[in-house]
Amino acid sequence: MISSWPCDYAWFGRSFDGIDKRFTKVLKDKAPDDYATLLEWFPLLEVDHVR
């Protein structure tokens, strides 16, 4: 049995598997540096938060 799970299980209840709002909203709140990196790679990422 795994003694310590990665943080994404605590945050999302599963592995990070996409750049939709289910995952990026949590990253924006809990890991802003990682979210900033995603914004560099996907500049229109915030559009999904608006829709």
Average pLDDT over residues 7-17: 86
pTM: predicted TM-score of the whole model, two decimal places? 0.75
C-alpha–C-alpha distance, residues 29 and 26, integer Å: 5
C-alpha–C-alpha distance, residues 13 and 26, integer Å: 12
Task: Give 22's contacts (C-beta < 8 A, 6+ positions apart).
Answer: 12
Quick check: 20 and 48 in contact, CB under 8 A? Answer: yes
Summarised one tens digit per residue, pLDDT across range 17-43 is 888 888 999 999 999 999 999 999 999
C-alpha–C-alpha distance, residues 42 and 34, integer Å: 12
Quick check: 9 and 2 in contact, CB under 8 A? Answer: no
